């Protein structure tokens, strides 16, 4: 039997079983002990299993889908709640703009099987969008490697060519008077433009962003519906004088 095939079989076996003995493998594949031992050594070197006396054990770091698992781990419950509320604003067949960033990222699982088309400037969204087989258009322009977003004048111009049923924009700060803001002027421009191209307009933030200001304004409060995970009663009253507010039910 082919070496590669034996390796595949061993891994498959460990997928079912959590552990195998050398003898099991010898019988299964009709190879000598020596051969199986060698196989296990090699597979261990590749971190595909853990050798133990008498056989091998499955390694349990869910190497299957690391990027997804990792990100879910990082995704706080707050962002999940915000994403849920944002997703409630969607209709089937909507064409939406999804801003770069982790808060909007959490919305992606909710888009599944709803025939929604996504336009985005966030490269970080692409693997997840592929995972759920969502039709996706990327804004063109300069790649900001550090943040994985598309920015710049080209991107700004390209946004003119699109119109969305709804825009979902993340923000770094929200202040009662200064409105929504972010530390990067280029991103502020993009976010504002993308917001305006949407028929229904949403800005997402978690409560830690309340009553903070960054240098560059994205939009004033009245330009979008504000979605947040938690909000004090008094703050809510004051904000609602200027805009619509959606709060996650806790």
Binding residues (CB under 7 A) for DNA: these are: 1-3, 6, 21-23, 31-35, 37-38, 41, 51-55, 232-235
Tokens of residue 32, six digits: 């000598």
CA 185 from centre of chain: 24
C-beta of 2 vs 249, nearer to a second copy: 2
* Half-sphere CA count of 105, side-chain side, radius 13 A: 21
Residue 37 binds which entry of a second copy, DNA, none, CB below 5-8 Å type-dependent: DNA
User: Shortest approach of DNA to residue 37 CB, angstroms?
Assistant: 5
What strands lie across the sheet with 173-175, from one edge to the other? 173-175, 179-182, 216-219
Q: What, of DNA, a second copy, none, does residue 142 touch, CB below 5 to 8 Å by kind?
A: a second copy
Judge whether 110 and 84 are in contact, CB under 8 Å: yes
Using rule CB under 8 A, residue 8 touches a second copy: yes
User: Which of 15, 112, 135, 238 touches a second copy by CB under 8 A?
Assistant: 135
Q: Report the candidate in 156, 75, 87, 76 with the shortest Cα–Cα distance to residue 118.
A: 87
Least distance from DNA to the Cβ atom of residue 228, Å = 12
Contact partner at residue 129 from DNA, a second copy, none, CB < 5 to 8 Å by partner kind: a second copy
130 binds a second copy (CB under 8 A): yes
> For residue 63, with 0-12 CB atoms within 10 Å meaning exposed, 13-18 middle and 19 or more buried, which class applies?
exposed
182 bridge partner residues:
216
Q: Which residues lie below 8 Å from residue 183, measured CB to CB, with a gap of 6+?
A: 172, 214, 215, 216
* 18 near a second copy, judged by CB under 8 A: yes
Stretch binding a second copy (CB under 8 A), from 34-42, 50-58, 204-212, 228-236 = 50-58
| Other Cβ atoms within 10 Å of 166 Cβ, number | 20
CB of 170 to DNA, least distance (A): 22
- Residues in 161-220 that interact with a second copy by CB under 8 A: 161
Pick between residue 161 and residue 215 the one whose CB is nearest to a second copy: 161
Q: Cα 165–75–130 angle (5° rounding)?
A: 55
Q: Which does 154 bind (CB under 5 to 8 A by kind): a second copy, DNA, none?
A: a second copy
Please give the structure tokens belonging to residue 126: 């692409």
Q: Where on the chain is the footprint of a second copy (CB under 8 A)?
A: 2-5, 8, 18-19, 21, 52-55, 57, 64-67, 123, 126, 129-130, 133, 135-143, 145, 150, 152, 154-155, 157-158, 161
């Amino acid at each position: 039997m082919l070496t590669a095939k034996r390796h595949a079989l061993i891994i498959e076996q460990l997928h079912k079983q959590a552990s195998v003995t050398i003898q099991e493998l010898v019988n299964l594949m009709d190879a000598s002990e020596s051969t199986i031992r060698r196989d296990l050594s090699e597979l261990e070197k590749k971190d595909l299993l853990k050798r133990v006396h008498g056989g091998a054990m499955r390694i349990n770091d869910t190497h299957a889908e690391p990027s997804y698992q990792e990100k879910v781990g990082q995704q706080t419950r707050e962002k999940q709640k915000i994403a849920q509320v944002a997703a409630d604003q969607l209709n089937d067949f909507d064409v939406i703009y999804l801003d770069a960033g982790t808060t909007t990222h959490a919305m992606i699982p909710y888009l599944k099987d709803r025939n929604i088309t996504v336009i985005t400037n966030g490269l970080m969204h692409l693997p997840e969008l592929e995972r759920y087989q969502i039709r996706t258009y990327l804004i063109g322009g300069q790649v900001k490697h550090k943040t994985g977003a598309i920015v710049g004048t080209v991107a700004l111009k390209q946004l003119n060519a699109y119109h969305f049923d709804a825009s979902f924009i993340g923000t770094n700060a929200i202040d009662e008077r200064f409105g929504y803001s972010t530390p990067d002027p280029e991103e502020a421009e993009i976010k504002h433009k993308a917001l305006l191209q949407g028929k229904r307009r949403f800005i997402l933030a978690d409560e830690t962003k309340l009553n903070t200001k960054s240098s560059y304004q994205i939009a004033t409060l009245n330009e979008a519906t504000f979605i947040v995970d938690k909000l004090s009663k008094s703050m809510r009253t004051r904000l609602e004088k200027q805009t619509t507010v959606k709060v996650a039910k806790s």
